[in-house]
Amino acid sequence: MKTIGLIGGMSWESTAEYYRLLNEFTRERLGGLHSARCVLYSVDFAEIEQMQVQGRWAEAAEILAGAARSLEAAGAELMLICTNTMHKVADAVEAAVSIPLLHLADATADAVRASGLSRVGLLGTAFTMEQDFYRGRLEAGGLHVSIPDSEQRTVVHRIIYDELCLGVVKDESRDAYRKVMEDLVATGAEGIILGCTEIELLIGPADSPVPVFPTARLHAAAAVDTALSD
């Protein structure tokens, strides 16, 4: 099995899920006491979040690129950025190393296409929902992507940063997300992309009237498939 490098800590709540999923998928594939070969570089999210808010993406890219170089030096043979939002700097991270970066949006688009769907709603941080670095990648993969209205985007973003990234899960927030998903479906979404790795801490398939695509789970599954391939 190839060694998987993880750039995590954004937030550590979802990075912990990545670690669990990688090991569960490896055990399912190989059986017995097998677990994933992986190396984790966990950044301080408080610093990264400030750079996001202030638009200091080049500085954030340097931090993640440095993390990628450290992981490669530690023996990683493929790389994951364990957050949707920070794929805004994926090109800079990939350019910093000689090992492949498994892009989260690509793994997600593959799963949506495999399900036979093409029209999806996207939930995530405001950066992920509103900017082109993620939506554009999905659309380049053949998907039609819709996002909530401005007021709902504010609610979705706030719950991620003020609650989920702190490990806080509230029933009223789950209800708010359910309403957002219902509205996306009413405007034509055939599926919902949970385009922030923390969202999977709050909602799942039972909360949506249409199929959901949990990006952390899909990313981890794709990583194990790649790590176990010839």
Angle between helices 45-53 and 57-73 (to 10 degrees): 150
Q: CA 120, CA 203: separation in Å to the nearest integer?
A: 17
Segments of the chain scoring below 70 in pLDDT: none
pLDDT at residue 230 in the model = 74
Given this structure, which CATH class describes domain 4-103+218-228? alpha beta
Given the residues 38, 82, 165, 196, select the one marked as catalytic: 196
Q: Which fold has domain 105-214?
A: Rossmann fold (3.40.50)
Asked if residue 207 lies in contact with residue 171, where contact means CB atoms within 8 angstroms, the answer is no
Q: pLDDT tens across 4-50, in order?
A: 999 999 999 999 999 999 999 999 999 999 999 999 999 999 999 99
Backbone angles phi, psi at 99, to 5 degrees: -95, 155
Q: pLDDT tens across 188-207, in order?
A: 999 999 999 999 999 999 99
pLDDT at residue 105 in the model = 96
Active-site residue, 83 included: yes
Tokens of 64: 């993640």
CATH 3.40.50.1860 in the chain is located at 4-103+218-228, 105-214
Given the residues 83, 108, 128, 197, select the one marked as catalytic: 83
pLDDT at residue 23 in the model = 98
